[in-house]
Amino acid sequence: MLNIIADQNMPLVETLFAPFGNISLLPGRSISAADVREADVLLVRSITNVDRQLLEGSAVRFVGSATIGTDHIDKAYLAEAGIEFAHAPGCNAEAVVQYDLAVMSHLVPEWRQKTVGIVGCGNVGSRLYRRLVDLGVSCAVYDPFLSVDEIADLGDLAAVTACDIICLHTPLTTDGDFPSYHLFNKNTLMSLNPDVLLINAGRGAVIDNQALLEAFRQGFAGKVALDVWESEPEVDRALMAFVALATPHIAGYSLDGKINGTAMIYRAFHHWVGLGEPQNTHYNKEALSPIDVHSLNQAILHSYNIALDDKRMRVAINDSRMPVSQSFDQLRKDYPVRNEFTHYAVKPDSAHATDCKKLGFSILD
Q: Cα–Cα distance between 65 and 43 in angstroms, integer?
A: 6
Kindly name the residue from 87, 106, 169, 203 that is annotated as catalytic.
203
- Report the SS3 class of residue 24: strand
Q: Cα–Cα distance between 107 and 289 in angstroms, integer?
A: 25
Kindly name the residue from 131, 232, 312, 343 that is annotated as catalytic.
232
Q: How far is CA 285 from CA 259, 282, 336, 338, 339, in A?
A: 11, 8, 18, 14, 12
Q: Cα–Cα distance between 286 and 53 in angstroms, integer?
A: 41
β-sheet bridge partners, residue 289 = 344
Q: Minimal CA–CA distance to 145: which of 127, 123, 122?
A: 122
Q: Minimal CA–CA distance to 258: which of 34, 52, 66, 76?
A: 66
Whether 232 is catalytic is yes
Whether 249 is catalytic is yes
- Report the SS3 class of residue 5: strand
Q: Cα–Cα distance between 233 and 47 in angstroms, integer?
A: 9
Cis peptide before 233 (omega within 30 of 0): yes
Instruction: Specify whether the CB–CB gap between 161 and 191 falls below 8 A.
Output: yes
- Report the SS3 class of residue 342: helix
DSSP string across 236-287: -HHHHHH-SEE-SS-TT--HHHHHHHHHHHHHHHHHHTT--S-S------PP
Whether 203 is catalytic is yes
Separate counts of helices (H) and strands (E) for the chain: 15, 14
Kindly name the residue from 249, 267, 332, 343 that is annotated as catalytic.
249
Q: Cα–Cα distance between 26 and 133 in angstroms, integer?
A: 42
**Which amino acid is it at 84?**
E
Instruction: Specify whether the CB–CB gap between 225 and 251 falls below 8 A.
Output: no
Q: How far is CA 120 from CA 125, 256, 280, in A?
A: 6, 23, 33
**Which amino acid is it at 55?**
L
Residues designated as active site:
203, 232, 249
